[in-house]
Chain A
Amino acid sequence: MSNRRLLATAAIILGLALIAVAIVYWAEPAKSLPSFFPGHESGSNHHHTKHGIASFLVGLACLVFAWFNTGQQKRPTQT
Protein backbone atom coordinates (compact mmCIF):
# COMPACT_ATOMS: atom_id res chain seq x y z
CA MET A 1 0.00 0.00 0.00
CA SER A 2 1.47 3.38 -0.99
CA ASN A 3 2.04 6.11 1.58
CA ARG A 4 -0.73 8.23 0.06
CA ARG A 5 -3.29 5.43 0.36
CA LEU A 6 -2.20 4.62 3.89
CA LEU A 7 -2.60 8.27 4.92
CA ALA A 8 -6.00 8.48 3.24
CA THR A 9 -7.21 5.30 4.97
CA ALA A 10 -6.02 6.57 8.35
CA ALA A 11 -7.74 9.93 7.70
CA ILE A 12 -11.03 8.23 6.78
CA ILE A 13 -11.00 6.06 9.92
CA LEU A 14 -10.04 9.00 12.14
CA GLY A 15 -12.60 11.28 10.47
CA LEU A 16 -15.47 8.81 10.94
CA ALA A 17 -14.40 8.13 14.54
CA LEU A 18 -14.34 11.85 15.35
CA ILE A 19 -17.77 12.39 13.81
CA ALA A 20 -19.08 9.49 15.91
CA VAL A 21 -17.51 11.11 18.99
CA ALA A 22 -19.26 14.38 18.06
CA ILE A 23 -22.62 12.59 17.94
CA VAL A 24 -21.96 11.08 21.39
CA TYR A 25 -21.16 14.57 22.77
CA TRP A 26 -24.39 15.97 21.33
CA ALA A 27 -26.57 13.04 22.40
CA GLU A 28 -25.29 12.27 25.89
CA PRO A 29 -25.05 14.46 29.01
CA ALA A 30 -21.65 14.83 30.71
CA LYS A 31 -22.48 12.14 33.29
CA SER A 32 -23.14 9.51 30.58
CA LEU A 33 -19.99 10.18 28.53
CA PRO A 34 -17.30 7.46 28.63
CA SER A 35 -14.90 8.30 31.44
CA PHE A 36 -11.94 8.79 29.04
CA PHE A 37 -13.80 11.55 27.14
CA PRO A 38 -12.75 15.12 28.02
CA GLY A 39 -15.71 16.73 29.76
CA HIS A 40 -16.95 13.59 31.55
CA GLU A 41 -18.43 14.63 34.90
CA SER A 42 -20.43 12.32 37.10
CA GLY A 43 -23.81 13.73 38.08
CA SER A 44 -23.77 16.51 35.47
CA ASN A 45 -26.64 16.87 32.99
CA HIS A 46 -24.73 19.42 30.90
CA HIS A 47 -24.36 18.65 27.20
CA HIS A 48 -20.89 19.47 25.84
CA THR A 49 -22.17 20.87 22.53
CA LYS A 50 -18.94 22.79 21.86
CA HIS A 51 -16.78 19.69 22.32
CA GLY A 52 -19.07 18.02 19.79
CA ILE A 53 -18.68 20.84 17.27
CA ALA A 54 -14.87 20.78 17.65
CA SER A 55 -14.77 17.01 17.17
CA PHE A 56 -17.11 17.20 14.16
CA LEU A 57 -14.99 19.91 12.46
CA VAL A 58 -11.75 17.99 12.87
CA GLY A 59 -13.49 14.83 11.62
CA LEU A 60 -14.76 16.69 8.57
CA ALA A 61 -11.27 18.07 7.91
CA CYS A 62 -9.87 14.50 8.02
CA LEU A 63 -12.46 13.35 5.46
CA VAL A 64 -11.66 16.31 3.15
CA PHE A 65 -7.96 15.45 3.44
CA ALA A 66 -8.74 11.85 2.46
CA TRP A 67 -10.91 13.05 -0.43
CA PHE A 68 -8.02 15.08 -1.86
CA ASN A 69 -5.50 12.31 -1.23
CA THR A 70 -7.51 9.66 -3.07
CA GLY A 71 -8.03 11.87 -6.15
CA GLN A 72 -5.90 11.45 -9.26
CA GLN A 73 -2.47 12.97 -8.75
CA LYS A 74 -1.81 15.74 -11.28
CA ARG A 75 1.56 15.59 -12.96
CA PRO A 76 3.26 18.90 -13.71
CA THR A 77 2.98 19.69 -17.42
CA GLN A 78 6.25 19.48 -19.37
CA THR A 79 7.24 22.60 -21.28
Chain B
Amino acid sequence: MHPISYFQGAMLGLLQGVSELFPVSSLGHSVILPRLVGWHIHQNDKFFITFLVATHLATALVLLGFFRRDWWRILKGLGRSLRDRGIDPADADAKLGWLLVVGTIPAGILGLLLESSLRSVFASAQSASIFLFCNGLLLFGAERLRRRAPQTADDDDTRIARQVGWRDSALVGTAQALALVPGFSRSGATMAGGLLVGLSNKDAARFAFLLATPIIGAAAVLKLPELAGPDGRGVRGPALVGALCAAVTAYLAVRFLMRFFETRTLVPFAVYCLAAGAACAIYFATT
Protein backbone atom coordinates (compact mmCIF):
# COMPACT_ATOMS: atom_id res chain seq x y z
CA MET B 1 0.00 0.00 0.00
CA HIS B 2 1.24 3.52 -0.83
CA PRO B 3 1.74 5.88 2.15
CA ILE B 4 0.38 8.62 -0.16
CA SER B 5 -2.37 7.67 -2.63
CA TYR B 6 -2.26 8.84 -6.23
CA PHE B 7 -5.21 11.13 -5.55
CA GLN B 8 -3.48 12.68 -2.54
CA GLY B 9 -0.29 13.02 -4.59
CA ALA B 10 -2.15 14.84 -7.37
CA MET B 11 -3.95 17.17 -4.93
CA LEU B 12 -0.78 17.99 -2.98
CA GLY B 13 1.12 18.49 -6.25
CA LEU B 14 -1.49 20.90 -7.61
CA LEU B 15 -1.43 22.81 -4.32
CA GLN B 16 2.37 22.83 -4.14
CA GLY B 17 2.80 24.27 -7.65
CA VAL B 18 0.51 27.19 -6.92
CA SER B 19 1.44 27.90 -3.32
CA GLU B 20 5.22 27.72 -3.90
CA LEU B 21 5.03 30.73 -6.20
CA PHE B 22 2.02 32.58 -4.82
CA PRO B 23 3.21 34.42 -1.68
CA VAL B 24 1.10 32.19 0.59
CA SER B 25 3.53 29.49 1.88
CA SER B 26 3.56 26.10 0.17
CA LEU B 27 4.96 24.34 3.24
CA GLY B 28 2.26 25.89 5.43
CA HIS B 29 -0.45 24.70 3.06
CA SER B 30 0.99 21.20 2.82
CA VAL B 31 0.91 21.02 6.63
CA ILE B 32 -2.58 22.51 7.00
CA LEU B 33 -4.42 20.72 4.15
CA PRO B 34 -3.82 17.10 5.31
CA ARG B 35 -5.00 18.03 8.83
CA LEU B 36 -8.08 19.85 7.47
CA VAL B 37 -9.21 16.93 5.31
CA GLY B 38 -8.16 14.26 7.82
CA TRP B 39 -5.30 12.66 5.85
CA HIS B 40 -2.70 10.87 7.98
CA ILE B 41 0.22 12.69 6.41
CA HIS B 42 2.64 14.54 8.63
CA GLN B 43 5.27 16.93 7.32
CA ASN B 44 8.05 15.19 9.24
CA ASP B 45 7.21 11.75 7.80
CA LYS B 46 10.18 10.58 5.73
CA PHE B 47 7.96 9.58 2.83
CA PHE B 48 6.29 13.00 2.74
CA ILE B 49 9.65 14.82 2.67
CA THR B 50 10.67 12.53 -0.18
CA PHE B 51 7.42 13.32 -1.97
CA LEU B 52 8.04 17.07 -1.56
CA VAL B 53 11.48 16.69 -3.18
CA ALA B 54 9.83 15.65 -6.44
CA THR B 55 7.30 18.49 -6.43
CA HIS B 56 9.99 21.05 -5.58
CA LEU B 57 12.21 19.79 -8.36
CA ALA B 58 9.32 20.13 -10.80
CA THR B 59 8.65 23.71 -9.64
CA ALA B 60 12.35 24.64 -9.98
CA LEU B 61 12.49 23.19 -13.50
CA VAL B 62 9.39 25.14 -14.50
CA LEU B 63 10.91 28.37 -13.16
CA LEU B 64 14.18 27.63 -14.95
CA GLY B 65 12.30 26.99 -18.20
CA PHE B 66 10.10 30.07 -17.84
CA PHE B 67 13.08 32.40 -17.28
CA ARG B 68 15.52 30.41 -19.49
CA ARG B 69 16.45 33.38 -21.68
CA ASP B 70 17.09 35.56 -18.58
CA TRP B 71 19.22 32.81 -17.00
CA TRP B 72 21.24 32.46 -20.18
CA ARG B 73 21.93 36.22 -20.24
CA ILE B 74 22.72 36.21 -16.51
CA LEU B 75 25.17 33.30 -16.87
CA LYS B 76 26.89 35.08 -19.76
CA GLY B 77 27.07 38.24 -17.61
CA LEU B 78 28.63 36.28 -14.74
CA GLY B 79 31.17 34.83 -17.15
CA ARG B 80 32.02 38.29 -18.53
CA SER B 81 32.54 39.73 -15.05
CA LEU B 82 34.79 36.83 -14.00
CA ARG B 83 36.83 37.24 -17.19
CA ASP B 84 37.16 41.01 -16.68
CA ARG B 85 37.68 40.62 -12.90
CA GLY B 86 35.12 43.32 -12.25
CA ILE B 87 31.49 44.23 -12.81
CA ASP B 88 30.98 46.83 -15.49
CA PRO B 89 28.37 49.32 -14.14
CA ALA B 90 26.67 49.19 -17.55
CA ASP B 91 26.42 45.37 -17.50
CA ALA B 92 23.02 44.80 -15.88
CA ASP B 93 23.13 41.03 -16.49
CA ALA B 94 26.41 40.65 -14.61
CA LYS B 95 25.22 42.84 -11.73
CA LEU B 96 21.91 40.93 -11.53
CA GLY B 97 23.81 37.62 -11.60
CA TRP B 98 26.01 38.59 -8.67
CA LEU B 99 23.02 40.04 -6.81
CA LEU B 100 21.41 36.60 -7.13
CA VAL B 101 24.60 34.91 -5.89
CA VAL B 102 24.83 37.29 -2.93
CA GLY B 103 21.16 36.68 -2.11
CA THR B 104 21.39 32.91 -2.49
CA ILE B 105 24.42 32.24 -0.26
CA PRO B 106 22.92 33.31 3.12
CA ALA B 107 19.60 31.65 2.31
CA GLY B 108 21.38 28.45 1.28
CA ILE B 109 23.54 28.33 4.39
CA LEU B 110 20.65 29.04 6.75
CA GLY B 111 18.56 26.45 4.92
CA LEU B 112 21.26 23.80 5.15
CA LEU B 113 21.89 24.42 8.84
CA LEU B 114 18.40 25.13 10.20
CA GLU B 115 15.97 23.22 7.98
CA SER B 116 15.54 20.02 9.96
CA SER B 117 15.49 21.70 13.39
CA LEU B 118 12.89 24.32 12.35
CA ARG B 119 10.84 21.65 10.62
CA SER B 120 10.57 19.61 13.80
CA VAL B 121 9.93 22.59 16.11
CA PHE B 122 7.13 24.12 14.00
CA ALA B 123 5.59 20.91 12.69
CA SER B 124 1.97 21.36 13.78
CA ALA B 125 -0.92 22.60 11.66
CA GLN B 126 -1.82 24.97 14.52
CA SER B 127 1.55 26.75 14.39
CA ALA B 128 1.49 26.79 10.56
CA SER B 129 -1.89 28.57 10.72
CA ILE B 130 -0.55 31.18 13.12
CA PHE B 131 2.51 31.77 10.93
CA LEU B 132 0.28 31.99 7.86
CA PHE B 133 -1.52 34.83 9.64
CA CYS B 134 1.90 36.44 10.38
CA ASN B 135 2.79 36.02 6.69
CA GLY B 136 -0.32 38.09 5.88
CA LEU B 137 0.88 40.80 8.27
CA LEU B 138 4.31 40.72 6.60
CA LEU B 139 2.84 41.17 3.11
CA PHE B 140 0.48 43.90 4.28
CA GLY B 141 3.29 45.69 6.15
CA ALA B 142 5.56 45.56 3.09
CA GLU B 143 2.90 47.21 0.95
CA ARG B 144 2.38 49.92 3.58
CA LEU B 145 6.09 50.61 4.14
CA ARG B 146 7.31 50.21 0.56
CA ARG B 147 9.58 52.76 -1.04
CA ARG B 148 8.45 54.04 -4.41
CA ALA B 149 11.61 54.72 -6.35
CA PRO B 150 11.51 56.42 -9.76
CA GLN B 151 11.56 53.88 -12.61
CA THR B 152 14.54 54.91 -14.70
CA ALA B 153 15.02 52.04 -17.15
CA ASP B 154 12.80 50.23 -19.63
CA ASP B 155 14.37 46.82 -19.23
CA ASP B 156 13.21 44.79 -16.19
CA ASP B 157 16.64 43.40 -15.31
CA THR B 158 18.33 46.80 -15.69
CA ARG B 159 15.79 48.34 -13.29
CA ILE B 160 16.42 45.58 -10.73
CA ALA B 161 20.22 45.82 -11.11
CA ARG B 162 20.12 49.60 -10.60
CA GLN B 163 17.71 49.58 -7.69
CA VAL B 164 19.02 46.68 -5.60
CA GLY B 165 22.34 47.06 -3.76
CA TRP B 166 24.60 44.29 -2.47
CA ARG B 167 23.42 44.66 1.11
CA ASP B 168 19.78 44.77 -0.05
CA SER B 169 20.26 41.55 -1.98
CA ALA B 170 21.86 39.80 0.99
CA LEU B 171 18.99 40.92 3.24
CA VAL B 172 16.30 39.93 0.73
CA GLY B 173 18.04 36.57 0.24
CA THR B 174 18.31 36.02 3.98
CA ALA B 175 14.59 36.74 4.30
CA GLN B 176 14.00 33.60 2.20
CA ALA B 177 15.07 31.59 5.23
CA LEU B 178 11.77 32.61 6.86
CA ALA B 179 10.16 30.07 4.53
CA LEU B 180 11.78 27.28 6.59
CA VAL B 181 9.03 28.00 9.11
CA PRO B 182 5.80 26.44 7.77
CA GLY B 183 3.35 29.31 7.23
CA PHE B 184 5.86 31.90 6.00
CA SER B 185 6.23 32.17 2.25
CA ARG B 186 9.59 32.28 0.49
CA SER B 187 8.30 34.30 -2.46
CA GLY B 188 6.29 36.49 -0.04
CA ALA B 189 9.41 37.30 2.00
CA THR B 190 11.49 38.11 -1.09
CA MET B 191 8.73 40.15 -2.74
CA ALA B 192 8.24 42.08 0.50
CA GLY B 193 12.00 42.67 0.67
CA GLY B 194 12.01 43.83 -2.94
CA LEU B 195 9.24 46.35 -2.26
CA LEU B 196 11.11 47.67 0.77
CA VAL B 197 14.24 48.36 -1.31
CA GLY B 198 12.18 50.29 -3.87
CA LEU B 199 11.28 47.74 -6.56
CA SER B 200 7.87 47.79 -8.23
CA ASN B 201 5.56 44.81 -7.60
CA LYS B 202 6.42 43.36 -11.00
CA ASP B 203 10.18 43.71 -10.52
CA ALA B 204 9.97 42.40 -6.95
CA ALA B 205 8.13 39.31 -8.24
CA ARG B 206 10.67 38.81 -11.02
CA PHE B 207 13.58 39.14 -8.57
CA ALA B 208 11.85 36.76 -6.14
CA PHE B 209 11.36 34.08 -8.81
CA LEU B 210 14.94 34.38 -10.07
CA LEU B 211 16.21 34.20 -6.49
CA ALA B 212 13.99 31.20 -5.71
CA THR B 213 15.12 29.04 -8.64
CA PRO B 214 18.63 28.02 -7.44
CA ILE B 215 17.47 27.54 -3.83
CA ILE B 216 14.43 25.39 -4.64
CA GLY B 217 16.39 23.46 -7.27
CA ALA B 218 19.43 22.87 -5.05
CA ALA B 219 17.28 21.80 -2.08
CA ALA B 220 15.49 19.29 -4.31
CA VAL B 221 18.68 17.97 -5.95
CA LEU B 222 20.35 17.53 -2.53
CA LYS B 223 17.50 15.29 -1.39
CA LEU B 224 17.00 13.51 -4.71
CA PRO B 225 18.96 10.43 -3.49
CA GLU B 226 16.22 9.92 -0.87
CA LEU B 227 13.64 9.58 -3.65
CA ALA B 228 15.82 6.97 -5.35
CA GLY B 229 16.69 5.18 -2.06
CA PRO B 230 14.61 3.09 0.37
CA ASP B 231 12.68 6.17 1.62
CA GLY B 232 11.21 6.52 -1.86
CA ARG B 233 9.70 3.01 -1.82
CA GLY B 234 5.95 3.27 -2.35
CA VAL B 235 6.14 7.03 -2.91
CA ARG B 236 7.75 7.23 -6.36
CA GLY B 237 4.51 6.74 -8.33
CA PRO B 238 2.45 9.32 -6.40
CA ALA B 239 5.51 11.60 -6.34
CA LEU B 240 5.74 11.48 -10.14
CA VAL B 241 2.04 12.31 -10.44
CA GLY B 242 2.46 15.08 -7.84
CA ALA B 243 5.48 16.47 -9.69
CA LEU B 244 3.59 16.59 -13.00
CA CYS B 245 0.64 18.32 -11.34
CA ALA B 246 3.00 20.75 -9.57
CA ALA B 247 4.71 21.53 -12.88
CA VAL B 248 1.41 22.39 -14.56
CA THR B 249 0.16 24.65 -11.76
CA ALA B 250 3.59 26.23 -11.23
CA TYR B 251 3.71 27.20 -14.91
CA LEU B 252 0.20 28.66 -14.78
CA ALA B 253 1.02 30.43 -11.49
CA VAL B 254 4.20 32.12 -12.72
CA ARG B 255 2.48 33.23 -15.95
CA PHE B 256 -0.44 34.60 -14.00
CA LEU B 257 1.67 36.34 -11.36
CA MET B 258 3.98 38.09 -13.83
CA ARG B 259 0.89 39.67 -15.42
CA PHE B 260 -0.94 40.22 -12.14
CA PHE B 261 1.89 42.23 -10.61
CA GLU B 262 2.10 44.58 -13.60
CA THR B 263 -0.90 46.39 -12.13
CA ARG B 264 -1.72 44.82 -8.76
CA THR B 265 -0.19 44.54 -5.30
CA LEU B 266 0.37 41.96 -2.55
CA VAL B 267 -2.75 43.08 -0.67
CA PRO B 268 -5.11 40.31 -1.94
CA PHE B 269 -2.59 37.67 -0.82
CA ALA B 270 -2.18 39.43 2.52
CA VAL B 271 -5.95 39.36 3.04
CA TYR B 272 -6.09 35.66 2.11
CA CYS B 273 -3.27 34.77 4.54
CA LEU B 274 -4.82 36.78 7.37
CA ALA B 275 -8.27 35.24 6.83
CA ALA B 276 -7.14 31.65 6.18
CA GLY B 277 -4.53 31.76 8.96
CA ALA B 278 -7.02 33.10 11.53
CA ALA B 279 -9.81 30.72 10.48
CA CYS B 280 -7.56 27.63 10.55
CA ALA B 281 -5.94 28.62 13.87
CA ILE B 282 -9.38 29.00 15.48
CA TYR B 283 -10.63 25.76 13.90
CA PHE B 284 -7.62 23.72 15.07
CA ALA B 285 -7.81 25.26 18.55
CA THR B 286 -11.45 24.26 18.94
CA THR B 287 -11.28 20.72 17.48
- A-side residues, CB < 8 A to B, are 50-51, 53-54, 57-58, 61, 64, 67-68, 70-74
Contacts and interface: CB of A to CB of B under 8 A. Distances in A.
Contacts of B82: 64, 67
A37 to B, nearest CB: 13
B115 to A, nearest CB: 8
Interface in B19-33: none
Interface of B is mostly: helix
Q: Considering the complex of A and B, which 9 residue pairs feature the smallest CB-CB distances, nearest first? A: A71-B85, A50-B112, A54-B109, A54-B112, A71-B86, A61-B105, A74-B86, A68-B85, A57-B105
A57 B109 contact: yes
A71 B87 CA distance: 11
A57 B108 contact: yes
Given A57-B108, A64-B82, 8 more contacts: A54-B108, A54-B113, A57-B105, A57-B109, A58-B109, A61-B105, A70-B85, A74-B88
Contacts of A70: 85
B85 A72 contact: yes
Contacts of B84: 71
Interface of A is mostly: helix
A67 B78 CA distance: 13
Nearest to B84: A71
Nearest to B85: A71
Contacts of A71: 84-86
A18 B81 CA distance: 24
Interface of B: 81-82, 84-88, 101, 105, 108-109, 112-113, 222
Contacts of A61: 101, 105
A61 B100 CA distance: 13
Nearest to B83: A71
Q: Which of A57, A58, A61, A67 has the most CB of B within 10 A?
A: A57
Nearest to A71: B85
A4 to B, nearest CB: 12
Nearest to A60: B105
A41 B72 CA distance: 43
B98 to A, nearest CB: 9
A52 to B, nearest CB: 9
Contacts of A67: 82, 85
B75 to A, nearest CB: 15
Contacts of B108: 54, 57
A17 B88 CA distance: 30
20 contacts: A50-B112, A50-B113, A50-B222, A51-B112, A51-B113, A53-B112, A53-B222, A54-B108, A54-B113, A57-B105, A57-B108, A58-B105, A61-B101, A61-B105, A64-B82, A64-B101, A67-B85, A68-B81, A68-B87, A71-B86
